């Protein structure tokens, strides 16, 4: 079965790095994602990593994937108050129905609080 | 245009009312989704439409009735809801096979059932 685990809370000081961790169970997942949700808003895709990659960097964001341990992390460098939000890790198989739809399994979300 | 637009943003309804939530995208995506999100919880998949056909119904009660009139529109018809159905309802779309599987989410419709 599929299950995605995340710690629920993380608090950091402005300017520090934040590291949000996630573990997943489905080794056949093709893509792994990090979504950000600000209060009262929808989900915004921050970044994703393909399962055959170890690392992906995109400006202040670094994603590390340890496929052996099924561990995914998101590092945010120079964390700002605008980064305060809930961050969801998600995994998906390549195609669910064969018609181009994807079924995501989300973690419970990590609430990041940035202290000015 | 990379937006998924949902209306209304807020909806309050009684248990005997009939209402609808609407979702629209003009990105040419052929898969559209309804998710339900309770406070402090992750989104839960309700329905998936692929090429305007319902492909997944995650055992959702029949008081929720989805409809996909065309490739750009997705509706969720609501009837005889319960207070526990109060939640944020998120619509999403995706391009289909051959891409990264990114789902584009709308801002959601916040539903309160009295």
User: Which 53-82 residues of chain A touch chain B by CB within 8 A?
Assistant: none
Task: Please tell me which residue, B57 or B72, carries the higher pLDDT value.
Answer: B72
pLDDT (mean) for B75-95: 95
Size of interface A-B (CB pairs under 8 A): 84
Among the partner-chain residues B94, B100, B108, the one whose CB lies closest to the CB of A42 is B108
Mean pLDDT, rounded, of chain B? 91
Adjacent-strand bridge partners of B11: B111
Q: Name chain A contacts of B108, Cβ cutoff 8 Å.
A: 41-42
Strand, helix or coil for residue A81: helix
User: Using one digit for the tens of pLDDT, what is the confidence trace for B13-69?
Assistant: 999 999 999 999 999 888 999 999 999 899 999 999 988 999 888 889 999 999 999
Structure tokens at A14: 């402005």
pLDDT at residue B58, as a whole number = 84
- Asked if the C-beta of A41 comes within 8 angstroms of chain B's C-beta atoms, the answer is yes
Two tokens at B77? Answer: 């018809």
The Cα A96–Cα A92 span in angstroms is 9
Express as a percent the part of chain B with pLDDT over 90: 74
The alpha-carbon gap from A41 to the nearest alpha carbon of chain B, in Å, equals 5
User: Per residue of chain A (116 residues), what is the pLDDT tens digit?
Assistant: 457 899 999 999 999 999 999 998 877 777 899 999 998 889 999 999 988 899 999 999 999 999 999 999 999 999 999 999 999 999 886 555 555 677 888 999 999 999 99
The two three-digit tokens of residue A81, written as one number: 């108050």
Give the torsion sign (CA, B9, A100, A93, A61). Answer: negative
Pairing mode of beta strands A71-76, A18-24: antiparallel
Instruction: Determine, for residues B102 and A33 on separate chains, whether the beta-carbon distance falls below 8 Å.
Output: yes
Rounded to whole angstroms, the Cα distance separating A39 from B20 reads 24
Q: Which pLDDT belongs to residue B33? A: 94
- φ, ψ of residue B85 to 5 degrees: the values are -80, -5
- What pLDDT score was predicted for residue A29? 72
Cβ neighbours for B113, distance < 8 A, ≥ 6 positions apart: B13, B14, B15, B81, B82, B83, B84, B85, B86
More confident residue, B95 or A107: A107
Best mutation target, B42, B52, B93, to test chain A (most A CBs within 10 A): B42
Whether residue B18 contacts residue B77, with contact meaning beta carbons closer than 8 Å, is answered with: yes
So what's the pLDDT on residue A31? 85
Residue A102 is predicted with a pLDDT of: 76
Mean pLDDT calculated for residue range B85-90? 97
Closest partner CB to B30 (pick from A41, A100, A103): A100
């Amino acid at each position: 079965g599929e299950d995605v685990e995340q710690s629920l809370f993380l608090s950091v000081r402005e300017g520090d790095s934040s590291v949000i961790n996630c573990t997943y169970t489905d080794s056949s997942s093709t893509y792994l994602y990090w979504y950000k949700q600000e209060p009262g808003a929808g989900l915004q895709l921050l970044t994703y990593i393909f399962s055959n990659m170890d690392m992906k960097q995109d400006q202040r964001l670094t994603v590390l994937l340890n496929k052996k341990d099924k561990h995914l992390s998101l590092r945010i460098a120079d964390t700002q108050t605008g980064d305060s939000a809930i961050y969801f890790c998600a995994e998906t198989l390549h195609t669910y129905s064969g018609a181009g739809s994807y079924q995501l399994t989300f973690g419970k979300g990590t609430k990041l609080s940035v202290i000015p | 245009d990379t937006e998924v637009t949902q209306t209304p943003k807020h909806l309050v309804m009684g248990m005997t009312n009939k209402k609808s939530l609407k979702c629209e995208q003009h990105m040419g995506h052929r898969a559209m989704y309804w998710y339900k999100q309770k406070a402090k919880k992750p989104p839960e998949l309700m329905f998936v439409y692929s090429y305007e056909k319902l492909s997944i119904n995650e055992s959702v009660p029949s008081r929720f009735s989805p409809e996909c009139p065309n490739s750009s529109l997705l509706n969720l018809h609501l009837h005889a809801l319960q207070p526990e159905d109060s939640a944020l309802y998120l619509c999403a779309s995706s391009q289909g096979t051959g891409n990264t599987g990114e789902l584009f989410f709308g801002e959601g419709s916040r539903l309160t059932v009295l």
